Amino acid sequence: MSKKVVVIDDSLTVRQQVGMALRQAGFEVLEAADGDEGVELVGRIADIAMVICDVNMPRMNGLDFLEAIKKDGKNANLPVLMLTTEGQPQLIERAKKSGAKGWVVKPFKPDLLVAAVKKLAS
Amino acid sequence: MEATSVRMLDAAVEAAALALFDSLGIPLESEASVGRSDDNIGASIGFTSPKLKGALVLISTRALVARALPSEVREGASEEQISDWMGELANQLLGRIKNKLLALGVALEMSTPTVIWGLELASKDTRSRLRRRFAFRHGGQPLSVFVDAVSAPDFEFTVSEAAQGPGIAEGELTLF
């Protein structure tokens, strides 16, 4: 059975681009357009293998999403990779302390992203 | 803001725009004046920090934005995709500018983008103390970047060893 990866980004195009790369690599992709939708999705689907999440989004941003899901003990080992335009060290440090497993600065290279997902979701 | 700081901002915006579109296979040429088109699309995104705040406006044509779409989704792209990508371009452009300004002692907070369509879109003069415009062209299609900002009276960009640049560069991936 394909592993499920949740992609959270307010850009439809970025979700499509990430989704195409992951589906070609054999993953099942679920999409959310902001942190609020992401929290709902992660709470509703039990067997998610990992999450890829933008930082700057309306309603709930990616770092607040990360902190919100990590409060729930059942997500303690759920790998989260941040995919963003941001490179500010303080934001990277906040993500790291909150339990993120990696950080990608856009524009991303699909082959590198797929390799990271394969490693983190295994 | 003194002329030296304005030149630093200009250099950051111009370098960020050239690098972003080059990474998308759209090498830009600088132009002396802002080009007009009846096929315009624009995106605005706000930024703030304790001493510098304002907005960045990116204006181009639907044709050029469609050409800048990721190759995986370029063919048969819908108007929704082109609008969405215009917002993402403004987001990525401001992200690159932010990363350059980190090394000059300023950490901007970014808003999310708003996309607009229209005929002959242009950014008009405002009451902003700082208003910069940058004109480019690719394959006959115009692209302009406007930065409108206000700064605190004592604000200047500073190059110092204490200022941290971006922790991770554009296009890079780091696992913790």
| Backbone φ/ψ region at B110: left (φ over 0), alpha (ψ -120 to 50), beta | beta
Q: How confident is the model at residue B165 (pLDDT cuts 50, 70, 90)?
A: confident
Interface membership of B15 toward A (CB under 8 Å): no
- Concatenated DSSP letters for A51-87? EEE-SS-SSS-HHHHHHHHHTSGGGTT--EEEEES--
Greatest distance between any 2 Cα atoms in chain B: 50
Which CATH code for domain B3-151? 3.40.1550.10
A48-53 and A4-8: which strand pairing? parallel
Distance from CA of A44 to the nearest CA of B (A): 27
Q: Which residues on chain A are in Cβ contact (under 8 Å) with B169?
A: 87, 105
Distance from CA of B90 to the nearest CA of A (A): 10
The answer on pLDDT for B120 being more than 80 is no
The answer on pLDDT for A100 being more than 90 is yes
Helices (H), chain B: 3-23, 62-67, 71-74, 79-102
pLDDT (0 to 100) of residue B32: 85
Cβ count near B41 (within 10 Å): 26
Rg (CA), chain A: 13
Mean pLDDT for the stretch of residues B120-137: 78
Contact between chains at B175 and A87 (C-beta distance less than 8 A):
no
**pTM above threshold 0.90:** yes
Which domain range does residue A20 map to?
4-120
Structural contact between residues B91 and B45, judged by C-beta atoms closer than 8 angstroms: yes
pLDDT (0 to 100) of residue B54: 95
Give the domain CATH number at A16.
Answer: 3.40.50.2300
Interface membership of B100 toward A (CB under 8 Å): no
pLDDT (0 to 100) of residue B126: 61
Q: How many domains does chain A have?
A: 1
Cα distance between residue B147 and residue B44, in whole Å: 10
Q: How confident is the model at residue B166 (pLDDT cuts 50, 70, 90)?
A: confident
Cα distance between residue B124 and residue B119, in whole Å: 14
